[in-house]
Amino acid sequence: MSGETIRPELLTDVLGRARARGATEADGFLIEEQHFSASVRLGQVDTVKHSREQRLSLRVFAGKASAAASTSDLSRDSLERVVDEATALARVTSEDPHAGLPDPNDLITAIPDLELAEQGGEELSPEAKIELARRAEAAALESDPRIANSEGAEYWDRRARYVYATSHGFARGYATTAFGLSVSPVASANGEMQRDYWYSAARHRAALEEPASIGRTAARRALRRLGGRKVKTTEVPVVFDPDTAASLIRSIAGAASGPGLYRRASFLLDRLGKRIAAPAVTIVDDGLIPRALGSRPFDGEGLATRPTVLVGEGVLESYLLDSYSARKLGLRSTHHASRDGAGVGVSTTNLMLKAGPTPPEALIGSVKNGLYVTELIGFGVNGVTGDYSRGAVGLWIENGELTYPVEEVTVAGNLLEMFGAIEGIGNDLVLRDRTVSPTLLIGRMVVAGN
C-alpha cells in the first residue's frame, strides 16, 4: 500500500497535449487513493470495503475562455478524449476577463513537510482493523445495560497522493494518510430509542483516540438523550457544545467564500473590515499545522498555504478567495482554492474559533434557564441573509445545571446577530477535525417547541 505509483508525467503529457490542441494555458490535478473500511455490528463483521481510485482533472483556457474535464480512465485513448473534450468545450464558452491561472511567479517553491502521511507505520491486517472497530463497539455495549443495540462501529483508512501541474512547467505533489474510528450505539428504555455517535480521526494512526474511550463516549452521549422531551416555546440563552459550535463557524466561512461574494449571495458582502461578531471572537484558518486533518502545503492552484485571520476580535479581516473570485472582487487570492473535477472552488483548511478563558461548566453555570445543544439537524441556514433555523437536540439548563434531555425543538435567529451575541467562549478547544470550536454561549435565541 506504500508504493508511490502516481505518474506525474501522465499529467504533464496531458497539459502538453492541451497546448498542442490550441489551449493557451492549462492546469490539472492527478489524485490516486486507496481506501479501506470495515464495519462491525453487534460484534459481527457487517461490511468490508476496499478500493483503489485515480482521477485526472484538467482545466484548459482558450484565451479568456475556459472549460474543465476529468476522467477516472487513465488509458491513452481516454486521456486524448479528455483533452479533446475540454478544448472543444472551451471554444463554446464565453470570454471572461477574470479567467486565468495564477501568476507563475506566485506558485509555491519549497514544499513544507507537514507530516501529512504516516511514514513506515506498520500496516495492520484487515483482521486487526476489524478488531479496532469491534473493541470500540464492545466498549459502548458493555458500558450500560440500556445499550442493547447498535448501528455499528467503523474503522477506515485512506492513503492518497496528489500532483498539481500547470502548462508553465510547474509540477508538485504530496501524500496524505488518514485514519478514523466511529461508533453509533442505540440506547433504549421504556419503548424509546436514542442513537448517538462518537468518532476520532487523524493523519497518523497512533493519534487515534483509544477504541474503548470512543465507545464509552458514544454510549454516554446516547444514554443522556433518553427521556427527551419538547419544551415550551421561549427565548433563552443557548450554549452550543464544541461540535455544534463548529457548524456555526462553517457557516461563517461559507459566507466569507469568494464565489458567494461575487454572486452577491452572502450576508458578509461589503462587511470586510467591519464588526461581525462579539469582540472576544477570533476565527483563524491555519493549514500549516503539522499532522492536522485540514493541512495542505499548497492550494488547488499551486499557491502556498498560509494562515489567515478570518475574524480578528470580532472584525471580519479577510475573505477566503481563489484567484478567480479574488480578481472578480478586486482583491488578491488568499490561497484557498479547492479543486474537484468540475473546476475550482474555495475551501478552508484547519478552521478554528480561538479558545476563551472560561471552562464550559462555568458557561453552563452562568445560565439560569436555557438550552445546551448537542446535535443539530436540517439545512435551515440561509447564506444570503444569515437567517438560521435548525432542529436541535440537547439538555435543558436550569439554575446553571444540566437537567433533562430536550428533543423535537428548533433553535432560530440570524447568524450575524448570533455571533454578535456571543457572551462566553469555552477554554475547551481541541483540534480533532478540520473545523473546530470551543463551547459557545449565545445570549438569546428562539427555541420553538410546544
Partner 1 sequence: MERLLGGSLAGRVDDADIYLEYRVNEELVLEENVVKKASRHVSQGAGVRAQAEARTGYAHTDDISLSNLEEAARQARAIADRATTSGVLAIPSRGRAHDLYTLAEPPIVTALERKLGLLRKIDAAARAADPRISQVIASLASEEVVMLIATASGWTIGDVRPLTRLNVTVIAEENGKREIGSWGGGGRVPFDFYLEDERWTRFADEAARQAILKLRAVEAPAGTMTVVLGPGWPGILLHEAIGHGLEGDFNRKGVSAFAGRLGQKVASELVTVVDDGTIPNRRGSLNVDDEGTPTGRTVLIENGVLTAYMQDRLNARLMKMTPTGNGRRESYAHPPMPRMTNTFMLAGQDDPQDIIRSVRNGLYAVTFGGGQVDITSGKFVFSASEAYLIEDGRVTTPVKGATLIGNGPDALVRVSRVGHDLALDEGVGTCGKDGQSVPVGVGLPTIRIDGMTVGGTQV
CB 179 within 8 A of CB 159: no
Sites for partner 1 among residues 312-341 (CB under 8 A): 341
Applying CB under 8 A, among 44, 279, 398, 403 the residue interacting with partner 1 is 44
Q: What is the DSSP string of 183-250?
A: EEEEEEETTEEEE--EEEEESSGGGSPPHHHHHHHHHHHHHTTTT-B----EEEEEEE-HHHHHHHHH
User: Taking CB under 8 A as the rule, does residue 134 contact partner 1?
Assistant: no
SS3 158: strand
**C-beta of 355: minimal distance to partner 1 in Å?**
30
Residue among 172 and 221 whose Cβ is closer to partner 1: 221
Q: Applying CB under 8 A, which of residues 5, 22, 43, 53 lies at the interface with partner 1?
A: 53
Stretch touching partner 1 by CB under 8 A, among 102-110, 365-373, 408-416, 419-427: 408-416
Counting contacts by CB under 8 A, is residue 52 touching partner 1? yes
Q: Give the nearer residue to partner 1 in terms of CB position, either 260 or 287.
A: 260
Q: Which of 30, 140, 409, 415: binder of partner 1 (CB under 8 A)?
A: 409
Q: Is 46 in the site for partner 1 (CB under 8 A)?
A: yes
Contact flag: residue 418 with partner 1 (CB under 8 A): no
Q: Per rule CB under 8 A, is residue 123 in the interface with partner 1?
A: no
Report the DSSP beta bridge partners of residue 124.
none
- Phi, psi of 166, deg, nearest 5: -125, 165
Q: Does the footprint of partner 1 cover residue 62 (CB under 8 A)?
A: no
The amino acid occupying position 32 is E
Q: Given the DSSP bridges, would you call strands 147-166 and 387-398 parallel, antiparallel or unpaired?
A: unpaired
Distance between the two ends of the chain, CA-based, in angstroms? Answer: 55
Q: How far is the CB of 90 from partner 1 (least distance, A)?
A: 7
Options 288-296, 364-372, 377-385, 394-402: segment touching partner 1 (CB under 8 A) = 377-385
Check residue 406 for interaction with partner 1 (CB under 8 A). Answer: no
Residue with cell 498539481: 164
Tell me the number of residues near partner 1 by CB under 8 A.
81
Using the 8-state DSSP alphabet, how is residue 104 labeled? Answer: G
Give, as ranges, the residues between 165 and 224 that touch partner 1 (CB under 8 A).
186, 192-195
343: left (phi over 0), alpha (psi -120 to 50) or beta: left
Q: Is 273 exposed, middle or buried (0-12, 13-18, 19+ CB in 10 A)?
A: exposed
Cα dihedral across residues 440, 445, 448, 450: positive or negative: positive
Residue 112 burial (C-beta neighbours within 10 Å; 0-12, 13-18, 19+): middle
User: Which lies closer to partner 1 via its Cβ, residue 267 or residue 287?
Assistant: 267
Give the total residue count for the chain. Answer: 450
- Would you call 319 helix, strand, or coil by DSSP? coil
Query: Which stretch, 19-27, 93-101, 105-113, 247-255, contacts partner 1 (CB under 8 A)?
Result: 93-101
Among 20, 50, 227, 332, binds partner 1 (CB under 8 A): 50
By CB under 8 A, is residue 384 in contact with partner 1?
Answer: yes
Neighbours of 326 (CB within 10 A): 22
Residue 179 or 388: the one with the smaller Cβ distance to partner 1 is 388
Contacts to partner 1 from residues 136-155, by CB under 8 A: 149-151
Closer to partner 1 by Cβ: residue 109 or 125? 125
In the set 20, 111, 342, 430, which binds partner 1 (CB under 8 A)?
A: 342
228 contributes a contact to partner 1 by CB under 8 A: yes
Judged by CB under 8 A, does residue 47 bind partner 1? yes
Least Cβ distance, residue 293 to partner 1 (angstroms): 17
Residue 382 binds partner 1, judged by CB under 8 A = yes
- Residue 318 CA to residue 271 CA, distance in Å, equals 10
Q: Which of 411, 415, 416, 422 binds partner 1 (CB under 8 A)?
A: 411
Binding mask 236-275 for partner 1 (x = CB under 8 A): ---------------------------xxx---x------
Place of cell 461548566: 361
CA distance 211 to 407: 28
Which of 11, 23, 26, 69 binds partner 1 (CB under 8 A)? It is: 69
Question: Is there binding between residue 368 and partner 1 (CB under 8 A)?
Answer: no
Q: Which of 78, 142, 274, 290 binds partner 1 (CB under 8 A)?
A: 78
Binding region for partner 1 (CB under 8 A) out of 62-70, 103-111, 303-311, 418-426: 62-70
Tell me the CA distances in angstroms from 49 to 56, 121, 155, 258, one per residue in order: 23, 21, 11, 37
Half-sphere exposure of 368 (CA within 13 A, CB side): 3
Q: Cβ atoms within 10 A of the Cβ of 270, count?
A: 9
